Amino acid sequence: MADSHKVAIVTGASRGLGAVIARVLAERGHDLVIGARGAEALREVAESLRQRGGAVVTVEGDITDAPVRERLVDAARGLGGLDVLVNNASELGGIGPLATVDLQRWVGALRVNAGAPLVLIQLALPLLAERHGLIVNISSDAAHAAYPGWGPYGSSKAALELMTRTLAAELRPGQIGAVIVDPGDMRTRMHQEAFAGEDISDRPLPDVTVPFWSWLFDQQPLDISGERFVAQKAAMPWLQPV
- The residues that are catalytic are 153
Alpha-carbon span 132 to 141, nearest angstrom: 28
Smallest CA-to-CA distance from 225 within 187, 170, 182, 184 is with 170
| Closest by CA position to 89, among listed 125, 137, 41 | 137
Q: How many CB atoms lie within 10 A of CB 90?
A: 26
Of 80, 96, 98, 104, nearest in space to 32 by CA: 80
